[in-house]
Amino acid sequence: MPNPTISIAMPFFNSRGTLALAIRSMLQQTFEDFELLLCDDGSTDGSLEIARSFKDPRVIVWSDGNRRRLAARLNECIDRARGFYLARMDADDVAFPDRLATQLHFLGQHRKVDLCGGQALVFGAKGAALWRFSPPARHRAIVQQPFRGFPLWHPTWMGKTEWFRRWRYNETALLGQDQELLLRSYEQSCFANVAEIVLGYRQEHVSLKKLARYKLLWTKFVFDHEGDSMAAHRRAAFIMIQLARLGANCVAALGGPTRRLGRQGAAAPTPEQLEAWKALWSELQVVESGLSGVVPSQTFAAEALEAGS
């Protein structure tokens, strides 16, 4: 059996309510030469049975019954990947039909790029469109302020499998594994973002505890990266900035799931993008429900949020 062009890494844990939709969105890609690696991280809610219910030969499912967390499972997927390229996908998101084709074409045209992401349409309950993540396209802009984080959203990633094998994920990082990896690798890598929307990114709730833990871990990542070269006054200033950002993020989170966090590339979706999302969501709902030719009633908010921290 020949190796596929793309391996898609999609670990999952207790994702019963969203997993089937995410899988179906990958199986309906216009580019079909891929393998979908579904690694169970010890689910107890029936997610594993859902993953195994898909009989497509491109779907590869495995489970050891243990809970090892995302970074370890992603490294498992990297080790198993047979594709020249590796793409990321989360079990609660939705891939646009041309996602793989778009990113594959871009990487074929830009051989020096190791890793590319793309734009995303952020959605909430019942598929309501909230806002559009529109990050900078080129490496220089993406890495311009590394200590503030990289506008390269994890579930939109696609890059050379050899790059992932060189850098791998830090399995001690329980949150922010993607940003920690980018911080380690950006000086010896080339990043990019495609100009198209490649993903529907689910944002239905934000945990304040998770936000606080992430800020704490990000501070540790930066300090570990800088080592002793970071002067004491710079460390103190960095901590104060992180506390201020955490406070602003908490205020935004308390406003509900429709409030965006931070100012990374937020934009309003165009009417054409909203129509494309509405059509995709409706089609996936029809497949999910098993109905033929019946589009479930859904709410599609066209509002792009301008407020935020």
Is residue 247's pLDDT more than 70?
Answer: no
Is residue 199's pLDDT more than 60?
Answer: yes
Mean pLDDT lowest for which of 45-59, 73-87, 205-219, 271-285?
205-219
pLDDT of residue 173: 85
d(C-alpha 9, C-alpha 41), whole Å: 13
Strand 6-9 relative to strand 34-40, pairing: parallel
Those residues with Cβ within 8 angstroms of residue 109's Cβ, 6 or more apart along the chain or in another chain = none
d(C-alpha 227, C-alpha 201), whole Å: 34
Q: Return the higher-pLDDT residue of 298 and 161.
A: 161
Average pLDDT, the chain: 85
d(C-alpha 145, C-alpha 31), whole Å: 34
- Are 21 and 94 contacting, i.e. CB atoms less than 8 angstroms apart? yes
pLDDT band at 222; cut points 50, 70, 90: confident
pLDDT of residue 105: 98
Q: How many CB atoms lie within 10 A of CB 279?
A: 12
Those residues with Cβ within 8 angstroms of residue 163's Cβ, 6 or more apart along the chain or in another chain = 114, 115, 185, 189
pLDDT band at 292; cut points 50, 70, 90: very low
What mean pLDDT is predicted for residues 52-66?
Answer: 96
pLDDT of residue 285: 86
Q: Which residues pair with 160 in a beta bridge?
A: 85
What mean pLDDT is predicted for residues 213-217?
Answer: 68
Summarised one tens digit per residue, pLDDT across range 90-147 is 999 999 999 999 999 999 999 999 999 999 999 999 999 999 999 999 999 999 988 8
Summarised one tens digit per residue, pLDDT across range 68-88 is 999 999 999 999 999 999 999
Q: How much is the pTM?
A: 0.83
pLDDT of residue 254: 55
Is residue 182's pLDDT more than 90?
Answer: yes
Q: Where does the chain have alpha helices with state H?
A: 19-27, 47-52, 70-80, 99-109, 139-142, 161-167, 177-185, 208-226, 232-254, 271-289
Q: How many CB atoms lie within 10 A of CB 152?
A: 24
pLDDT band at 307; cut points 50, 70, 90: very low
